[in-house]
Amino acid sequence: MNAIDLLALEVLRVFEHTTYMCLPASKSVLTLRQNSFLEWKREEIAKMIKEIPATAKVNREAVTEIIQELFPQSQWAFSNTHWGSEYLQDWLKDLRVAHPQNFDRYFSITVPDYDISQADLQGLLSLIDDPQKFKSAIFDIKRRRLLDVVIDRISANLDSVPQDKSATFITALFEVGDDLRGKGMKASSLFSVDAALRFSFIIDDVLESEPDQGRRLQLLTVTIDSTTGLFLPLVIVNREKLRHKEPHRHGQPLVSEKQLASLQEACVQKIEKLAGEGYLCQVEFLDFVLGKWSEWGDANKTKQWVINSLDDTKCLLALLVGFLHSATTYGGGLPQVNYYMDLEELEQFVDIKELTERLRKIEKSRLESAQQIAVDTFYRAVDMQAKRKSDYDRWKRHGDKV
């Protein structure tokens, strides 16, 4: 907790207990920005905020000042003063009661089940020297459904990671990316970002804190070589490519074009090494891997690997799962997951007819859930493609007669 905030709250608890007792139930109005409320609600919200210090029995003016100091987001109701969202990160890092994620701990004896203590966070960050222990701790946190909270905390406390630990920190994050990017771990809706991508933004922040491009290149080269992870290195390097292509949309590049080419080559070498070890058949983002391998390396070598891998049922199914896409829609308030597959993407690497023939030899009863969905989606896509071709042929024959 923040010592100053805790002391101010204790003053209220002792000397203006009625006001203090109003605070726990007023979290939303005290910690959310004014523009978070609907226009027609703002007058009502402002009244609710002003009623809190109005409960003071001794010194209402002093209590009003304390409330505004503790909760800067409430100042708009008193003086039309507004705080931007950029301050939220500082409040989270400084453990201010003004941040929604910190608020509840000030009014409970123990840390809530949906939060982690500062000691636990520091304990997690102390594990970055051992990426495997860090990875194990992250998945323990995931099982407790606290991953989003922890990512927010890490992002807000990046300055607690020593600069000489940047390489080990990036490596530790690289290690967790592959397992967080499984088909079952992707973002739940159009408006959410999955955990692996959120970690990639933290890596970007670490790289941006290093002013020297040569040092950035060294950090990425060393960590790409040392990690067993593949997804996040590809994401980071691909994002850098986008920065060079469209800096107005993706931000200024972190390395030069020559350095970018070096990083792409390092990624290709990593992919080819893992392909030789059989690792690619274990990932559920194979579409992304093959796309980057083909784009940054030898497209023929990529295609040949896919063709050779079709003899292995595990690889064949991994290929389909990799090209399986999903979209979550909401109808009647309930989420609906829709699966689809773009055969044109798949055809860049394998002949659809050959793939269909090989799939017919696989016993469906032995398929795992994701594999079954991928196979069914593939057959549905093939049927739709055949129907479109049939419709086009009929239209063309009719047009020729006319």
Domain ranges (residues) in the chain: 3-107, 118-282, 310-402
The pLDDT of residue 375: 92
The pLDDT of residue 328: 77
Which band of pLDDT confidence, cut at 50, 70 and 90, is reported for residue 187? very low
Which band of pLDDT confidence, cut at 50, 70 and 90, is reported for residue 191? very low
* 377 neighbors 384 (Cβ within 8 angstroms): no
Distance of alpha carbon 174 from alpha carbon 227, whole angstroms: 6
**Element at 335 (helix H, strand E):** strand 334-340
Distance of alpha carbon 337 from alpha carbon 27, whole angstroms: 34
pLDDT digits (tens, 9 = 90+) for 144-165: 788 888 898 898 888 888 888 9
The interaxial angle of helices 131-143 and 166-180, nearest 10 deg, is 50
Distance of alpha carbon 313 from alpha carbon 25, whole angstroms: 57
Percent of the chain with pLDDT over 70: 89
Which band of pLDDT confidence, cut at 50, 70 and 90, is reported for residue 84? confident
**In this predicted model, which residue has the larger pLDDT, 144 or 340?**
340
Select from 174, 243, 162, 160 the least CA-distant residue to 203.
174
DSSP 108: S
DSSP 183: G
The pLDDT of residue 242: 95
**In this predicted model, which residue has the larger pLDDT, 157 or 328?**
157
Q: Is the pLDDT of residue 226 over 60?
A: yes
Backbone φ and ψ of 141, nearest 5°: -65, -40
Q: Is the pLDDT of residue 183 over 80?
A: no
Backbone φ and ψ of 339, nearest 5°: -105, 145
pLDDT digits (tens, 9 = 90+) for 59-77: 899 999 999 999 998 898 8
pLDDT (average), residues 313-332: 85
Answer yes or no: pTM beyond 0.85.
Answer: no
Which band of pLDDT confidence, cut at 50, 70 and 90, is reported for residue 302? very high
